[in-house]
């Protein structure tokens, strides 16, 4: 109840202040049909939001069924769509009120020092409207951005190409092509099977020699894969499809009725990988052989910063690989690279995901930023240190917020090149 009450209070305070500001912007009459219509339309938004939240929490029992959780995602989108712009508008309107208060205070102080009564003039109406209207115009930008992210951005699959050059790459693997995907969160695609087909076809068109997936196949439970196993099973590469588990794949974020139910969910996850033809690496490695040369592909279970679980055992995953000249590691969380991989192992290339680039960001020739950088210094793209490489895939799917803004779903095409 307490979080719900805090959320309701937040919504109420924001809307009361925004309502006041909009009356200034539009010079709303004190009464009449225009004011009545405006009031009804304005207060309908918080009413719908609060009803949706209450229904989502108390309206039905939460079951291991994708549409139930997807409702929460759309509540998040609805909240951001209307309340992020309102917060932007509030910043401008508060500045207006602050200037007005300062002018009145200055007028009072001047009158006090002169020992005479001076009537406060206040900001001119035109200036007040300009500040609030500027806020209203700027507030439209996140509104449009969120609509774009939900309707277009989350399905705007992009192929990012990168080259990894190393003297350790055997000659037979010079030009070897790897497609790296991550964070599918398949339950979020409930009702969008054709979008998943589109992504699979785009991946196969890259003609990769190897496909790797670095975790978070589902949001909460294996049942989300129902109806998608046949589609994902069409991923194809001569050297196979390999995967590891992410923090969402263990069912840790769902309150199971019993320990046995959770264990059955994990057994179903392992079986699903078999059905799709994906080789799941659980703290183990496999040799990749081409001609007379061999490289290593190792995979660890999830290893992350708290509160994320640490099931990974890197020492076990790399045991017996020291004699090979080039080693690739699949590890869901990029923080694992800094904590245990770099300068502590001979792993040449680590492939990770997890961050999604926060599904929001800016990546241009001059500016490269995502809110994910606050927690993850290595949040997306290629990083090189001490001759070791890390590539962080920005994710193919989405979770919590059903959209992507400036951070399109990524399919990474990596080409290995033997460095002379």
Instruction: CATH number of the domain at 359, please.
Output: 3.60.21.10
Same domain, 301 and 264: yes
Domain that holds residue 265: 158-418
Same domain, 70 and 113: yes
Average pLDDT over residues 170-179: 97
* Predicted confidence (pLDDT) per residue in 371-411, tens digit: 999 999 999 999 999 999 999 999 999 999 999 999 999 99
Mean pLDDT, all residues of the chain: 92
* Domain end marker among 151, 185, 206: 151
Same domain, 236 and 298: yes
Tokens for 264, please give them.
């059955």
Q: For residue 65, what pLDDT is reported?
A: 67
Q: For residue 37, what pLDDT is reported?
A: 87
Percent of the chain exceeding pLDDT 90 equals 77
Q: For residue 273, what pLDDT is reported?
A: 98
* Predicted confidence (pLDDT) per residue in 15-42, tens digit: 999 998 998 888 766 667 877 888 899 9
Same domain, 323 and 180: yes
* Domain end marker among 151, 184, 212: 151
Total structural domains in the chain?
A: 2
Q: For residue 64, what pLDDT is reported?
A: 62
Same domain, 186 and 253: yes
* Predicted confidence (pLDDT) per residue in 176-206, tens digit: 999 999 999 999 999 999 999 999 999 999 9
Same domain, 66 and 164: no
* Predicted confidence (pLDDT) per residue in 112-123, tens digit: 777 666 555 555
Same domain, 231 and 371: yes
* Domain end marker among 109, 124, 151: 151
Same domain, 80 and 177: no
* Predicted confidence (pLDDT) per residue in 293-349, tens digit: 999 999 999 999 888 999 999 999 999 999 999 999 999 999 999 999 998 999 999
Same domain, 122 and 163: no
Same domain, 104 and 234: no
**Torsion sign over Cα 188, 192, 195, 197:** positive
Same domain, 146 and 173: no
pLDDT over 90 (residue 57): no
Same domain, 168 and 142: no
């Amino acid at each position: 109840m307490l979080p719900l009450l805090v959320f309701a209070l937040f919504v109420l305070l924001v809307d009361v202040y925004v309502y006041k500001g909009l009356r200034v912007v539009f010079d709303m009459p004190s009464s009449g049909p225009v004011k009545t219509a405006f009031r009804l339309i304005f207060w309908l938004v918080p009413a719908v939001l609060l009803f949706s939240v209450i229904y989502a929490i108390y309206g039905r029992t939460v079951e291991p069924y994708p549409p139930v959780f997807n409702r929460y995602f759309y509540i998040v989108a609805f909240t951001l769509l209307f309340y992020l712009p309102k917060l932007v508008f509030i910043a401008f309107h508060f500045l207006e009120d602050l200037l007005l208060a300062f002018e009145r205070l200055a007028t009072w102080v001047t009158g006090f020092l002169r020992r005479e009564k001076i009537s406060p003039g206040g900001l001119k109406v035109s200036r007040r409207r300009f500040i609030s209207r500027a806020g209203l115009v700027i507030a439209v930008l996140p509104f449009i951005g969120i609509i774009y992210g939900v309707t277009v951005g989350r399905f705007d699959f992009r192929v990012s190409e990168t080259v990894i050059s190393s003297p350790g790459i055997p000659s037979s693997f010079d030009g070897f092509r790897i497609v790296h995907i991550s964070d599918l969160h398949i339950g979020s695609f409930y009702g969008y099977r054709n979008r998943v087909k589109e992504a699979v076809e785009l991946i196969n068109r890259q003609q990769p020699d190897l496909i790797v997936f670095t975790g978070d196949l589902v949001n909460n439970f294996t049942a989300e894969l129902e109806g998608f196993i046949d589609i994902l099973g069409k991923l194809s590469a001569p050297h196979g499809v390999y995967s590891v588990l992410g923090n969402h794949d263990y069912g840790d974020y769902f309150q199971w009725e019993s320990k046995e139910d959770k264990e059955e969910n994990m057994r179903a996850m392992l079986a699903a990988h078999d059905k799709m033809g994906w080789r799941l690496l659980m703290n183990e490695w496999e040799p990749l052989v081409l001609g007379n040369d061999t490289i290593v592909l190792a995979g660890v279970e999830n290893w992350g910063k708290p509160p994320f679980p640490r099931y990974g055992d890197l020492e076990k995953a790399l045991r017996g690989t020291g004699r090979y000249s080039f080693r690739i590691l699949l590890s869901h969380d990029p923080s694992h690279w800094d904590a245990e991989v770099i300068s502590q192992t001979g792993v040449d290339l680590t492939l990770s995901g997890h961050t999604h680039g926060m599904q929001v960001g800016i990546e241009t020739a001059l500016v490269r930023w995502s809110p994910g950088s606050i927690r993850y210094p290595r949040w997306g793209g290629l990083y090189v240190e001490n001759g070791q490489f890390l590539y962080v895939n920005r994710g193919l799917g989405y979770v919590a917020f059903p959209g992507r803004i400036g951070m399109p779903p990524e399919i990474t095409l990596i080409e290995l090149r033997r460095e002379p």
